[in-house]
Amino acid sequence: MTQTQNDQRLDHAAAEPEAVGTKGLLARMARLRVPFNQNTSLLIALAALVTIIGVQAPEFFGSANLRTIGTTIAIAGVLAVAQTIVIIIGGLDISVGSITGLTSVTCAMVFTSAGGPFPGLLSALAAGLVCGLVNGIIIVYGRVNPVIATLATLAAYKGIAQLVSDGRAQGYTGADPIFIFIARGSIAGIPTLIWVFALIAVSAHVLLKYTDIGRNLYAIGGNDKAARLAGVNLNRYIIAAYCLTGTVAGVAGVLLTAKTGSGQPVSGSEGLELYSITAAALGGCAMQGGRGTIPGTVLALVLLGVLENGLNILGVNSFWQNVAKGILLVAAVVIQQRRSGERRIGLPR
């Protein structure tokens, strides 16, 4: 009897490494499948949403309406792409909407004073870069939490935009050929706004997936201590990520100026930070960093754009759009937390 029990214990002990190894392998496979599953879920949700809206409103499939969806999400889209990069390194930028408003005003005012579009365009990009640099310096050298830091600069940049513009729209760019082309032009039948968004999205995707810079960004978000030991300059990468986000917000400011025909300190840029964060989270970005893809963010953007457009076509009160975005953001974060095994606050393990 004793010999039999000993044999059973030995068999069990021998099987344990195999079980652990199998479990570890399955866990690794599950992690590798996350982007695929996330994107597939988004595609299924998008198909269902398009079907529901299309059945109730056939005009939804009209070419003019599809162009409207594309141009509507373009400005928020470029911000969401930049937000994805910041979230991947374990950060967050709540100030992107305010930077967009500030750079929009800068673009229009410089355009008016210089009498040409290119100084206005360059000034918007430069202003965005400076704002992003300030964010990065506060976070890195001030050792301030990214949420607190960018929440503070959100208020500061919005205040500066209102101060320099007296709280009013500035300049008029609606008669300039360059701004007209940006706002209403097209290449191969596709609006310029969509081309700008696509160019930024593709560039970011290539950066993240096919370069050492991208791999280092994922490493910083996944395990910053290990990345530092591997020789990655964390401070430089974090500041560069926020500079990139600020510059892209400058691009968004130019697009907003072209679309509205004037520099907008607040109107048109409010809520863009929520939109960009929601798209990134819904697209599969882990809010603690280390995971996320540009294709996932783009799919989430399209889903949000279709939802917003569909609610408008169906005559649903526009206030419900913000409710829907808030619900989607909470749902996306909850799903990511459960997938990553994060401990729920206030609950025992």
> What pTM did the predictor assign?
0.82
- Span of 56-60, 148-152, 195-199 with lowest mean pLDDT: 56-60
Residue 308 placed within a domain = yes
DSSP character for 344? P
Percentage of the chain beyond pLDDT 90 is 53
Q: How many CB atoms lie within 10 A of CB 95?
A: 28
Q: For residue 208, what pLDDT is reported?
A: 94
**What pLDDT band is residue 81 in, cutting at 50, 70 and 90?**
very high
State the average pLDDT over residues 35-60. 83
Domain of residue 329, CATH code: 1.10.3470
Answer whether residue 38 shows pLDDT above 80: no
Residue 23 placed within a domain = no
Q: For residue 178, what pLDDT is reported?
A: 93
Residue 181 placed within a domain = yes
**What pLDDT band is residue 143 in, cutting at 50, 70 and 90?**
very high
Answer whether residue 21 shows pLDDT above 60: no
Q: For residue 342, what pLDDT is reported?
A: 53
Answer whether residue 173 shows pLDDT above 90: no
Residue 248 placed within a domain = yes
Cα 122 off chain centre by: 23
Q: For residue 122, what pLDDT is reported?
A: 96
Q: For residue 40, what pLDDT is reported?
A: 84
Extract the runs of DSSP E, i.e. beta strands, from the chain. 186-187, 190-191
Residue 154 placed within a domain = yes
Nearest to 240 by CA among 252, 230, 232, 228: 232
Q: Residues near 100 by Cβ (< 8 Å), separated by ≥ 6?
A: 75, 79, 249, 252, 253, 256, 269, 272
Strand partners, 170: 263
Q: Distance between CA 320 and CA 324 in Å, rounded?
A: 6
Domains in the chain, number: 1
